[in-house]
């Protein structure tokens, strides 16, 4: 397997709107990020993935871009961006940009032109189709509810939008579209950025002829089949030749609905497409009936099997991302751990150890390193995210779901959970802003915040810091081969990693009771790399009698 810096790095995702507000308007901004670079340096991360900072009308918080080469007014100016990039580079931190090119905003100049007339020069930059007997051209549903087609009176045709109607899909079949995208990417590379996280890149090649979906999902065709379309690999190889191969970048494809087989192609070791995939199978294991809304917890045995499948399936052939949190996911402590005071920190650390000792590039989402939790929603009116708002409306009004029983399911899974402001300290608004935050701060900021954790050696923050330092020190953590033990145990997640003479044993008790696990004889004299659990201050796991307390975890190295 090739050794490269992006396999050895730890990435930290910033959602700028909620990270740090420097000017008191309640909205996080670029200067706020610059102010907090020393915090990230202290944590020890190598790379920042910056969620979109481009000009946008914010129908989907910046994932609807109206100008790829301007900064969103609320976030600052291009000069602020340049200063932030330089300040990050001064600290040895790279910056990876979000690249959202499956769609633009409907306010992007290309779409404004495209929609102006049937004969417009940019008409084919998007998918325009005639309706069928007064209905949309096909049955596809949008990921944000409703049909994926919007009727446009001006030219009496429909345009495709797999996300909101303000996010029309770009037509990658058109070579001019690809040229424009590649040139725009090149200009960002010339500016000195360090890579791209490619939003839903597995969606850019649409099935030939845009047929109805093979399966129905309620009122609409299940758009799941639109992923990994017929020309996706041609497009990525072209992008690689034209742009990516000319710079030293980290490239990660957001690839929902990708299989291990396909991922081996997207992120192949030969480097003809992307460096790594960011896939979702493990995040879908706690979904409900036909959709993601549910209060179920992530089932441990299924999670172990799934993560292990990816660990062994890509080993030596391709590269994966390791993550439990991002701006689209509820907080992992609620999903897999226990947010109550007695177990919150222990479970956050157990989860972190389990993930960060695997093969792949770890991603930490802002606040995860503090063990931040879901927001305690009390009513539907508190949801802000377009996905949650639309889903609640569609499921109650069009599919007859009972609002009272749907509410807790959406509250448990809403993307809003990840988007409450970063909890910096215990002062007003958690130190995020001197004004009224665009989204309420989680009331638990008085006990969960960065200032308190940075100086407490047994904090979640210090645990993440240690995990990152370990990865930088031991090659076996980056490159070692993985093997799962105790496959069917409902509480324990135990695995080994091997590289040459080095061997790791990772032991995590994901339950709220004591368990006994005695490591194999070969680990008798192994060194303890990291150890955590409720009230554990010492550094030696009690392996002699094998007792593991709730959420206790440790790593041994030979
Ligand atoms: O979060 C989701 C719904 O459960 C996913 O379907 C999500 O929409 C999907 O992973 C694509 O996400 C990306 O593209 C979206 C944007 O809203 C997300 O924030 C982004 O991560 C459209 O650009
Ligand atoms: Ca601001």
168-222 pLDDT, tens digit per residue, is 999 999 999 999 999 999 999 999 999 999 999 999 999 999 999 998 877 899 8
554 CA to centre of own chain = 26
Ligand 1 neighbourhood includes 60 CB (under 6 angstroms):
yes
By DSSP bridging, strand 527-532 and strand 553-557 are antiparallel
Ligand number nearest to the C-alpha of 104: 1
Ligand number nearest to the C-alpha of 278: 1
Q: Could you give the CA distance from residue 148 to residue 144 in angstroms, rounded to a whole number? A: 9
Q: Nearest CA to 105 among 61, 154, 50, 41? A: 61
100 CA closest ligand 1 atom index: 23
Ligand 1 neighbourhood includes 199 CB (under 6 angstroms):
yes
Ligand number nearest to the C-alpha of 385: 1
Ligand 1 neighbourhood includes 163 CB (under 6 angstroms):
yes
- pLDDT value, residue 289: 76
Task: Tell me the CA–centroid distance for residue 433 and ligand 2, in Å.
Answer: 8
Q: Tell me which residue has its CA closest to atom 11 in ligand 1.
A: 200
64 CA closest ligand 1 atom index: 23
Q: Order of strands across the sheet with 157-160?
A: 128-129, 157-160, 149-152
Q: Could you give the CA distance from residue 415 to residue 385 in angstroms, rounded to a whole number? A: 7
Task: Tell me the CA–centroid distance for residue 62 and ligand 1, in Å.
Answer: 12
Helix (H) or strand (E) holding 13: strand 11-14
Reduced to 3 states (helix: H, G, I; strand: E, B; else coil), residue 328 is coil
| Residues of the chain predicted below pLDDT 50 | none
Dihedral angle of Cα 504, 255, 235, 478, to the nearest 10 degrees: -10
Ligand 1 neighbourhood includes 200 CB (under 6 angstroms):
yes
Enumerate domains of the chain plus CATH numbers.
11-104+175-201+250-461 (3.20.20.80), 109-160 (3.90.400.10), 480-557 (2.60.40.1180)
Task: Tell me the CA–centroid distance for residue 26 and ligand 2, in Å.
Answer: 6
Best residue among 56, 169, 291, 328 to mutate for probing ligand 1, ranked by most atoms within 8 Å of CB: 328
The whole-model pTM stands at 0.97
Q: Could you give the CA distance from residue 259 to residue 286 in angstroms, rounded to a whole number? A: 18
Residue 3 sits at φ, ψ, to 5 deg, of: -100, 130
Cβ–Cβ < 8 Å for 352, 460: yes
298 sits in the region (left: phi over 0; alpha: psi -120 to 50; else beta) called beta
- pLDDT value, residue 538: 58
Q: Tell me which residue has its CA closest to atom 1 in ligand 1.
A: 328
By DSSP bridging, strand 157-160 and strand 220-221 are unpaired
Q: Tell me which residue has its CA closest to atom 2 in ligand 1.
A: 328
Ligand 1 neighbourhood includes 419 CB (under 6 angstroms):
no
Task: Tell me the CA–centroid distance for residue 48 and ligand 2, in Å.
Answer: 19
Task: Tell me the CA–centroid distance for residue 73 and ligand 2, in Å.
Answer: 10
Cβ–Cβ < 8 Å for 96, 53: no
Task: Tell me the CA–centroid distance for residue 59 and ligand 1, in Å.
Answer: 13
416 CA to centre of own chain = 14
Q: Nearest CA to 384 among 421, 338, 424? A: 421
Ligand 1 neighbourhood includes 387 CB (under 6 angstroms):
yes
Cβ–Cβ < 8 Å for 178, 235: yes
Catalytic residue list: 199, 254
Best residue among 63, 202, 390, 417 to mutate for probing ligand 1, ranked by most atoms within 8 Å of CB: 63
Q: Order of strands across the sheet with 481-485?
A: 481-485, 492-499, 502-509, 553-557, 527-532
């Amino acid at each position: 397997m090739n050794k490269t810096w992006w396999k050895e790095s730890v990435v930290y995702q910033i959602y700028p709107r909620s990270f740090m507000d420097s000017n008191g308007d309640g909205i996080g901004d670029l200067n706020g990020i610059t102010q907090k670079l020393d915090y990230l340096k202290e944590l020890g991360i190598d790379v920042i993935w910056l969620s979109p900072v481009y000009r946008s009308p914010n129908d989907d918080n910046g994932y609807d871009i109206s100008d790829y080469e301007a900064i969103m007014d609320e976030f600052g100016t291009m000069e602020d961006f340049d200063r932030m990039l330089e300040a990050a580079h001064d600290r040895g931190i790279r910056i990876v940009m979000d690249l959202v090119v499956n769609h633009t905003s409907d306010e992007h100049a290309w779409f404004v032109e495209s929609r102006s007339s049937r004969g417009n020069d940019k008409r084919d930059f998007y998918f325009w189709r005639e309706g069928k007997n007064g209905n949309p051209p096909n049955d596809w549903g949008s990921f944000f509810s409703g049909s994926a087609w919007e009727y446009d009176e001006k030219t009496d045709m429909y345009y495709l939008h797999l996300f909101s109607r303000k996010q029309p899909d770009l037509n990658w079949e058109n070579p001019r579209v690809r040229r424009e995208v590649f040139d725009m990417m090149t200009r960002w590379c010339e500016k000195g950025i360090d890579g791209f996280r490619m939003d839903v890149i597995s969606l850019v090649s649409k099935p030939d002829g845009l047929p109805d979906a093979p399966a129905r999902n309620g009122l609409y065709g299940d758009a799941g089949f639109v992923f990994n379309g017929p020309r996706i690999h041609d497009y990525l190889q072209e992008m690689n030749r034209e742009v990516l191969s000319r710079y030293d970048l980290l490239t990660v494809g957001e690839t929902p609905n990708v299989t291990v087989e396909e991922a081996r192609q997207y992120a192949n070791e030969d480097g003809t497409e992307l460096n790594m995939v960011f896939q979702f199978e493990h995040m879908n294991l706690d979904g409900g009936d036909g959709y993601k809304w549910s209060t179920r917890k992530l089932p441990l045995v299924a999670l172990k099997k799934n993560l292990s499948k990816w660990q062994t399936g890509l080993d030596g052939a391709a590269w994966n991302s390791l993550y439990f949190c991002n701006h689209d996911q509820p907080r992992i402590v609620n999903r897999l751990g226990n947010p109550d005071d007695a177990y919150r920190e222990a479970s956050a650390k157990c989860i972190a150890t389990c993930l960060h000792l695997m093969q792949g590039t770890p991603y930490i989402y802002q606040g995860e390193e503090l063990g931040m939790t879901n927001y305690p929603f009390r009513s539907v009116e508190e949801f802000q995210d377009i996905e949650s708002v639309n889903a609640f409306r569609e499921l109650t009004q069009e599919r007859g779901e009972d609002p009272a029983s749907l509410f807790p399911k959406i509250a448990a899974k809403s993307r809003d959970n990840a988007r409450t402001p970063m909890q910096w300290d215990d002062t007003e608004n958690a130190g995020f802003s001197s004004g009224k935050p665009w989204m309420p701060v989680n009331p638990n900021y008085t006990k969960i915040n960065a200032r308190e954790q940075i100086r407490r050696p047994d904090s979640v923050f210090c645990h993440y810091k240690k995990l990152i330092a370990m990865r930088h020190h031991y090659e076996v953590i980056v490159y070692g081969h993985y093997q799962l033990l105790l496959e069917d145990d409902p509480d324990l997640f135990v695995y080994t990693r091997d590289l040459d003479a080095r061997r790791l044993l990772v032991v995590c008790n994901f339950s709220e009771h004591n368990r006994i696990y005695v490591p194999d004889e070969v680990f008798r004299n192994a060194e303890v790399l990291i150890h955590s659990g409720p009230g554990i201050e010492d550094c030696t796991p009690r392996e002699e009698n094998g007792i593991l307390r709730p959420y206790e975890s440790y790593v041994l190295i030979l």
